[in-house]
């Protein structure tokens, strides 16, 4: 409203005082007047000009005042948008914290790695279907004689060999120090690898990039009860007090024996309901580290044993929150209408 009035005032100013305004025109014609009239008309014009200018200024101020009076303090202000952590980042931090409590150290390994670390070193058969072009993103990069072709890590299990080799280097250094000190200390690995994974998949329940977390423990005298204990601890710490896990025989190339890990359904607490059918939901893959894998990691399987487990971050997040994301691809779509909810 005020803007409209300002404009009208400006129009009036231009009409009378502008370069070709009425008063200016009269002033320009003053030369045509008789000598006696020139002075009095000139004065009159000046006086009118001043009066008009003053009136316009006063009116302008009045408009400003009314505009100010119109200010409504109850109208909500425009709040600046605040950012928030992505829902998957929140889940990753929570999982890392759960494992930190029992001494697992969060590690990072390459996302672009060699076949050796993702498959060969993990005891995968040359013809294993996971190596299929349709599962794994292979890179068009020069091959390595020792490690094969490069790929985008299709699972977090590449961290197993990476961690063992890294740990072995440290162990050798320790060994030398030990010999000097004549004291004995074991190699313990207690690692958690939470990372991006890549597979050739894209539909409402799969994205080409997703997240897994992988745990690895290697030490003297590690057995299945330790694996079960850690899984039950995670089930309770992450999902809630009443939850427990069970191990079901399965097959993975890099563990022996291998298991699928189930967790009691939160709705029926293991009794069986429409959602879970028999009381259990699939949680993870796990097993005792295969002796070949320990060897490939530079660790003597006669001296050391270990266990490993791995599962999807998106999967546990949805199991925990009961979130029904209609299309998993939404998670990585950068759509703030969707992501802003979390
Ligand atoms: N890497 C497997 C996958 O992507 C999951 C897995 C199974 C990890 C068994 C493990 C394990 O550490 O012991 O499906």
d(CA 177, CA 161): 24
Q: Is residue 161 part of a domain?
A: yes
pTM above 0.85, yes or no: no
* Ligand 1 neighbour 307 (Cβ under 6 A): no
Closest residue to atom 11 of ligand 1, CA basis: 286
Cβ of 260 closer than 6 Å to ligand 1, yes or no, is no
Residue-wise pLDDT for 276-307, tens only, equals 888 999 999 999 999 999 999 999 999 999 99
Residue 114 forms part of a structural domain: yes
Residue spans of alpha helices (H) in the chain: 2-17, 22-28, 35-69, 87-100, 115-118, 158-181, 224-234, 291-296, 313-321, 336-339
Across 62-76, 123-137, 193-207, least confident range: 62-76
Instruction: Give residue 248's pLDDT band: very low, low, confident or very high (50, 70, 90).
Output: very high
In a domain, residue 318? The reply is yes
Distance of CA 255 from the midpoint of ligand 1 (Å): 9
Q: Tokens 């290697």 belong to which residue?
A: 218
Q: What is the mean pLDDT of residues 162-175?
A: 81
The CA distance from 296 to 115, in Å, is 13
Domain for residue 257, yes or no?
yes
Q: Say yes or no to pLDDT of 67 above 70.
A: yes
Tell me phi and psi for residue 13, to 5 degrees: -60, -45
Ligand 1 within 6 A of 121 CB?
no
Mean pLDDT of 252-270: 93
Percent over 70 (pLDDT), the chain: 96
CATH number of the domain that 294 lies in? 3.30.930.10
Domain that holds residue 188: 88-339
> Domain count of the chain?
1
> Is 90 exceeded by the pLDDT of residue 63?
no
The reported pLDDT for the residue numbered 161 is: 95
Residue-wise pLDDT tens digits, 146-155: 999 999 999 9
Mean pLDDT of the chain: 90
Indicate whether 72 belongs to any domain: no
In a domain, 80, yes or no: no
The alpha carbon of 60 and the centre of ligand 1 are apart by a number of angstroms equal to 76
* pLDDT higher than threshold 80 for residue 179: no
Residue 191 reports pLDDT greater than 80: yes
> Which pLDDT score is estimated for 181?
60
Kindly state whether residue 14 falls inside one of the protein's structural domains.
Answer: no
At residue 184, the pLDDT reads 42
List Cβ neighbours of 111 (8 Å cut-off, separation of 6 or more).
152, 153, 195, 196, 198
pLDDT computed for residue 4 by the predictor:
57
- Assess if residue 198 is contained within a domain: yes
Whether 342 shows a pLDDT value over 50: the answer reads: yes
């Amino acid at each position: 409203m005020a803007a409209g009035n300002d404009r009208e005032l400006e129009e009036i100013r231009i009409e009378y005082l502008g370069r070709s305004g009425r008063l200016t025109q009269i002033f320009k014609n003053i030369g045509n007047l008789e000598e006696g009239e020139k002075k009095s008309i000139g004065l009159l014009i000046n006086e009118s000009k001043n009066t008009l200018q003053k009136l316009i200024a006063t009116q302008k101020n009045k408009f400003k005042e009314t505009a100010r009076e119109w200010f409504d303090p109850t109208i909500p202000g425009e709040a600046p948008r605040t950012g928030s952590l992505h829902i998957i980042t929140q889940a990753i931090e929570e999982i890392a914290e759960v494992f930190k409590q029992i001494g697992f150290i969060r590690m990072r390994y390459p996302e672009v790695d060699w076949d050796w670390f993702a498959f060969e070193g993990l005891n995968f058969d040359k013809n294993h279907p996971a190596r299929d072009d349709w599962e794994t993103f292979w890179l068009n990069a020069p091959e390595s004689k020792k490690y094969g072709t490069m790929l985008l890590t299709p699972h977090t299990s590449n961290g197993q060999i990476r961690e063992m080799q890294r740990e072995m280097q440290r162990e050798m250094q320790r060994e030398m120090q030990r010999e000097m000190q004549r004291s004995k200390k074991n190699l313990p690995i207690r690692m958690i690898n939470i990372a991006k994974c890549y597979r050739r998949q894209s539909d409402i329940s799969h994205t080409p990039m997703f997240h897994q977390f992988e745990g690895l423990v290697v030490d003297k005298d590690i057995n299945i009860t330790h694996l079960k204990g850690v899984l039950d601890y995670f089930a309770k710490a992450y999902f809630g007090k009443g939850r427990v896990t069970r191990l079901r025989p399965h097959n993975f190339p890099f563990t022996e024996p291998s298991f699928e890990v189930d967790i009691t359904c939160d709705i029926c607490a293991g009794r069986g309901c429409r959602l879970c059918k028999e009381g259990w939901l699939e949680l993870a893959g796990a097993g005792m580290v295969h002796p070949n894998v320990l060897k490939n990691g530079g660790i003597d399987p006669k001296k050391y044993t270990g266990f490993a487990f791995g599962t999807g971050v998106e999967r546990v997040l949805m199991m925990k929150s009961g979130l029904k994301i209609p299309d998993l691809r939404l998670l990585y779509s950068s759509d703030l209408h969707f992501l802003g909810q979390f």
